[in-house]
A and B are shown apart, each in its own frame.
Chain A
Amino acid sequence: MSVKAFELVPAVERDLLMGDKARINIECIECCGKHLYMGTNDCFIHHFLLDEVTSSKGKLTYSAQKLLHKYLGLKKPVAELRAASALERLIVLCDGIVFLVDMVTLETVPSAAGGGAKIRGVTAFCVNENPVNGDPFCVEMGVISSKKRTVQIYMVYEDRVQLVKEVTTPEQPCAVSVDGYFLCLALATQYMILNYNTGASQDLFPYNSEDRRPIVKRIGREEFLLAAPGGLGMFANAEGVSQRAPVNWSESVIGAAVSFPYVVALDESFITIHSMLDQQLKQTLSFRDGHILQDFEGKVILASTKAVYVLVPLPLERQIQDLLASHRVEEALILTEGAQQNIPKDKFQILHKRILQQAGFIQFGQLQFLEAKEHFRTGQLDVRELISLYPLLLPASSSFTRCHPPLHEFADLNHLAQGDQEKVLRCKKFLISYLGEVRSTEVANGCREDVDTALLKLYAEQNHDSLLDLLASDNACLLADSVPWLEKYHKYFALGLLYHYNSQDSAALQLWIRVVDGDLQDSTRSGLYEYIVDFLCSCSNPDLVWKHADWALAKDPTIGVHIFTKRPVSKDVTELNPEEAITYLGKHSQALLLFLEHLVLERKIKKEKFHTHLAVLYLERVLSLLSEAPADEEHLSRARERLQALLRESNLYRAQFLLGKMENCEQLLLERATLHGKLEENGKALHILVHKLKDFSSAEAFCVWASCCRDSAYQQQLFHLLLEVYLDRSLPAKSQAAAGGGELEMAAVDLLNRHGEVFDAVRVLRMLPEGWSLQLLRPFLGRAVRASMHAGRTAQIAVGLAQSENLQLLHDRLKDRKKPIFVSEKKGCHLCHNTFSEPDVVCLPGGAPVHTHCVAQRVRDSPTKRQLTNSSNHT
């Protein structure tokens, strides 16, 4: 498992440098822009111009052109070279001396003070890439002096160097790196961090510098990479904390460089490349006689003793794509996310999204739906990319085209599943759940139609319960695309809903009617007929209602009539004119009856026409039942009850008209009596009830209901009328005889005993025949006497209470007024202004005494003020 992260490209070939001189070795290199400098063991500096050449195939090569070489004249190897490009100087360490040479001419720079800018006794130095001094024309440098246990900080100017600080170390340092004020030092037995400004130090970990050359490499702000025992590359920050896990090098690492996110290390025979993100070894390149490995401004250069190479990083995207191509999703994502800081934000976001989407598709292809979904979500995948994998799901009208270059390698779902139907099914189920989740989020913005239509198709195909929910709620399903699909899967009910959602109620109804009639098969909804009735019921288009009501009524009038009776009362639904409805319902008698009942009994519409119509219908029903040969008693009695109830309850129908209709019918005496009652022909009514029907309880009931909304006098009158009818002796004897003699008398007695309270007892006693026994009327008389007694006593109590209240008030008044009223012969009456001659006076409110006769006069004159005078006598 490896990644191709770098490519080794030769930069300066052996012959270009030293030709056939076998003993010349490269000691150090420096690269600054296109300028490559090399120090050799024979004290030469070579200057090359390094040009990048990209071939037509995109392959990068380098062409090196030698500009100059210069002998430094010290006969010692050049140990280190550092460019200070702002100063146009090379800082050279050779023979323990640091000095400056011109970058172009390679001439030694004479010091401003004369004698050359030199530092003597140096074993190693480093340049501060995070300088604390703000001067751009000044380079900060940490120097390990051969003087025991000292690190010096210098400022390097164009033509001079200046010592700014010297710090001692607990042991002799052998390698140094500096960032800001922090020196990272390899001492003889350990690494440490030393703040040269404050002198504070932090031990890192022990290390034996005699075993192996230490590596101290600044890799970023306040972070260093160190060679640790056991062949580890340890990370340490300025606080002495390791924030990344170490990378596992070989024991013999010579040099290390960082090219984010990779750590490149060189040992005797290999270049190893580890990722700093997961510490894994990513690539190994064989490289013999490696000598130097350094990174310069992001460019990793390595050198053997004879030649120079550049490690060219492959473009990140290519690396990521390679990882994805081998389905290494996690690694690809780690690499992408790790690269965040190296790529401009907007570019990174685009890249990251794309990688997430690709990763999602790879996982999708492996049926790892949970992970795929997460990546689609975070990658903000255009959901149509996914839908387009499924043949025919996207609407024909969709403008979508797959993204280019493609996000995945699949032509479509069949290609992905390789004919495995179970896989296809799982993918479909995934898409159902995914679309269901995203359709209401912003992911679906701009393609709601595509999403909803695809979802509809999947639901229909998979026979999914949510199909109806989708259609019943807010949706953007495209009608043209969905119709054939729903028809294909016999989802006619759903299709009707879709028609309805698209305001094509007529089409919806026609479709549903065909299903109910059995022309089409769809068992989605069991009570579809009732549903249609409900639908018509709340349908706002009257034409549609008129058009389809016939069908519904023909199918089942009792339910069909709900279209008219159950219409909700609201602003959205236009009211159907009842008269129109009645006319319309003319041919559906049962429905008409139900509708009229609805109008009259439920909605209590006070319209004579409806009431009469309903009464007539009831009557007709009763008559038709009566005319049947063996009368169906049960139905008949029920029909009559209804008729009677209506006749009793309603006051609006035309009683005379109805009476005319049943005039000849001897079987409907009760109804006729009721109608007479309605016409206030109480005598006739009672006559029928008592003499024809001999139904005394009905007669009593008649008296009760006929007077129920009237005053007690009317009630009394009615009951007296009944009593008279009972006691009427003027009737032919045959009826008396037929009644079995005393039957009417018994009814009269019962009536009196039962409803005694409404009668005027005195009048009753006068009416009763002499011969009746007291015993017979005992309950009535007892009650009458008791009631009379009760009334008398109640009245007495009321009088007593009123008197006592009056007395109480008088007492209170006196108490309030207390002061006496003086009456003398000298005082005048307020009304007549004559003096008083007698002690009897009347006091007006306010206590003014007046003559009694004056008050009497005044009361006579103004009766309204009667209440004001509260007479009282005082002496």
Chain B
Amino acid sequence: MPEVSKMKKPDVKLVLLGDMNVGKTSLLHRYTERKFKDTVSTVGGAFFLKQWGPYNISIWDTAGREQFHGLGSMYCRGAAAVILTYDVSNWQSLAELEERFLSLTDTANHDCIYALVGNKADLTDPRAQLCQDSDEASKDRMDCGEERTETQVLSACPTPPASPVSLSGITPGKQVTPEDAMALYGRILRYKGLEEKSSLPAEKMCFETSAKTGYNVDNLFEALFDLVLPSILRNTNENQHSPTVDLEECRGAKRGRPGCC
């Protein structure tokens, strides 16, 4: 990643979070290098600077391994968008998002946006098996989105259905349906104390991608870049004002200096 060296000041920060082996690094690779290659388990984190129009967007790829879990909140600090990634063929990876990763996002910006991305769609969805150009892919997604809204049922239950395979019932191997992801999106909003109406709609923020074939990948990143644009503009307007939590400001929340003796 030679871009890092230029040390341009990033205008906005995106973070990829998710359980190990869901394909966070592969997604980033697919987007930045246009190819799918074997990756080793990410150590700690990696950093990529994307020049998007006049803006520099830093994308942090984090390690999914439990071992590095503690670092997540540091990466999320000041993030304008968090991409919560799961594996559509693995129910646990979705559950982990809620159990382990959601709390890491506490340090993100208050207006941070959240995207739920089901990767490895090529394993379950014939559409994703062919590398499609992003336009077509986007149309497909939108169609499905509209279809889904009617049947969407927000489940407050964080536990998986007894037999997820039979329940989704469309494709063998598919454990997580888009409806599950959208239900989780609703719970994320609730966790963040956000009004569902004033937030971005679930069908717009839930993606299914395949880093292997490139299905929907460009679409995902570009949709998010568009959505964080207001954040970028505000940052640039505030003229280098740090997007992160100001230590000076949270004085009241923290314990003051104890009195002598």
Q: Would you list which residues of chain B between 37 and 64 have a CB under 8 Å from chain A?
A: 43-47, 60, 63
Report if A858 contacts B (CB, 8 A).
no
Whether the pair B47, A245 counts as a contact (CB closer than 8 A) is yes
- Known contacts A245-B44, A277-B5, A337-B6; is-contact A205 B74 (Cβ 8 Å): yes
Closest to A167 in B: B257
- A and B contact pairs by CB, cutoff 8 A, 14 listed: A168-B257, A199-B257, A205-B71, A228-B44, A230-B67, A238-B247, A239-B245, A240-B74, A241-B78, A244-B4, A245-B60, A246-B45, A246-B71, A330-B2
Whether the pair A338, B242 counts as a contact (CB closer than 8 A) is no
State the A residues within 8 Å of B (CB): 166-168, 190, 193, 195, 198-207, 228-232, 234, 236, 238-242, 244-246, 248, 277-279, 330, 333-334, 337-338
Specify which of A168, A236, A333, A338 is in contact with B74 (CB 8 Å cutoff): A236
Leading 7 A-B pairs by shortest Cβ distance: A334-B5, A246-B44, A245-B47, A206-B70, A200-B247, A205-B70, A232-B44
Report if B68 contacts A (CB, 8 A).
yes
List the one stretch of B114-122, B124-132, B148-156, B248-256 in contact with chain A. B248-256
CA distance A199 to B67 in the complex (A): 30
- 1/0 per residue B226-261: CB within 8 Å of A? 000000000000000010111110110011111000
Whether the pair A240, B244 counts as a contact (CB closer than 8 A) is yes
| Residues in B whose Cβ lies below 8 Å from that of A236 | 74
Whether the pair A229, B242 counts as a contact (CB closer than 8 A) is no
Closest to A193 in B: B247
CA distance A144 to B201 in the complex (A): 51
Report if B21 contacts A (CB, 8 A).
no
CA distance A330 to B107 in the complex (A): 35
Specify which of B7, B71, B245 is in contact with A234 (CB 8 Å cutoff): B71
| Residues in A whose Cβ lies below 8 Å from that of B68 | 228-230, 232
State the B residues within 8 Å of A (CB): 1-2, 4-7, 43-47, 60, 63, 65, 67-68, 70-71, 73-75, 77-78, 107, 242, 244-248, 250-251, 254-258
CA distance A246 to B251 in the complex (A): 29
CA distance A17 to B45 in the complex (A): 43
Whether the pair B44, A239 counts as a contact (CB closer than 8 A) is no
Whether the pair A234, B44 counts as a contact (CB closer than 8 A) is yes
Closest to B46 in A: A245
B176 → chain A closest CB, angstroms: 28
Whether the pair B46, A334 counts as a contact (CB closer than 8 A) is no
| Residues in B whose Cβ lies below 8 Å from that of A201 | 247, 254
| Residues in B whose Cβ lies below 8 Å from that of A204 | 74
| Residues in B whose Cβ lies below 8 Å from that of A195 | 247-248
| Residues in A whose Cβ lies below 8 Å from that of B250 | 200
CA distance A613 to B46 in the complex (A): 95
| Residues in B whose Cβ lies below 8 Å from that of A228 | 44, 68, 70-71
A205 → chain B closest CB, angstroms: 4
CA distance A242 to B73 in the complex (A): 10
| Residues in A whose Cβ lies below 8 Å from that of B258 | 168
CA distance A413 to B43 in the complex (A): 45
Specify which of B46, B47, B67 is in contact with A229 (CB 8 Å cutoff): B67
Whether the pair B244, A248 counts as a contact (CB closer than 8 A) is no
A489 → chain B closest CB, angstroms: 43
Specify which of A167, A206, A248 is in contact with B43 (CB 8 Å cutoff): A248
| Residues in A whose Cβ lies below 8 Å from that of B242 | 239
Whether the pair A239, B247 counts as a contact (CB closer than 8 A) is yes
| Residues in B whose Cβ lies below 8 Å from that of A198 | 247-248, 251
CA distance A278 to B250 in the complex (A): 34
Whether the pair B247, A202 counts as a contact (CB closer than 8 A) is yes
| Residues in B whose Cβ lies below 8 Å from that of A207 | 70
CA distance A245 to B74 in the complex (A): 11
| Residues in A whose Cβ lies below 8 Å from that of B70 | 190, 205-207, 228-229
Closest to B242 in A: A239
CA distance A198 to B60 in the complex (A): 31
Specify which of A190, A232, A240 is in contact with B77 (CB 8 Å cutoff): A240
CA distance A254 to B247 in the complex (A): 31
| Residues in A whose Cβ lies below 8 Å from that of B107 | 240
Whether the pair A278, B5 counts as a contact (CB closer than 8 A) is yes
B244 → chain A closest CB, angstroms: 5
CA distance A239 to B77 in the complex (A): 9
CA distance A203 to B70 in the complex (A): 11
B204 → chain A closest CB, angstroms: 28
B251 → chain A closest CB, angstroms: 5
B67 → chain A closest CB, angstroms: 5
| Residues in B whose Cβ lies below 8 Å from that of A232 | 43-44, 68, 71
Closest to B244 in A: A239
A148 → chain B closest CB, angstroms: 12
Closest to B68 in A: A230
Whether the pair B245, A240 counts as a contact (CB closer than 8 A) is yes
Whether the pair B4, A277 counts as a contact (CB closer than 8 A) is yes
Closest to B255 in A: A199
CA distance A159 to B77 in the complex (A): 44
B216 → chain A closest CB, angstroms: 26
B38 → chain A closest CB, angstroms: 18
Whether the pair A337, B244 counts as a contact (CB closer than 8 A) is no
Specify which of B2, B44, B75, B254 is in contact with A199 (CB 8 Å cutoff): B254
A320 → chain B closest CB, angstroms: 13
List 12 additional contacts besides A242-B45, A242-B71, A333-B5; criterion CB under 8 Å: A199-B256, A201-B247, A205-B74, A232-B68, A232-B71, A239-B244, A239-B246, A241-B74, A242-B75, A245-B46, A245-B60, A338-B7
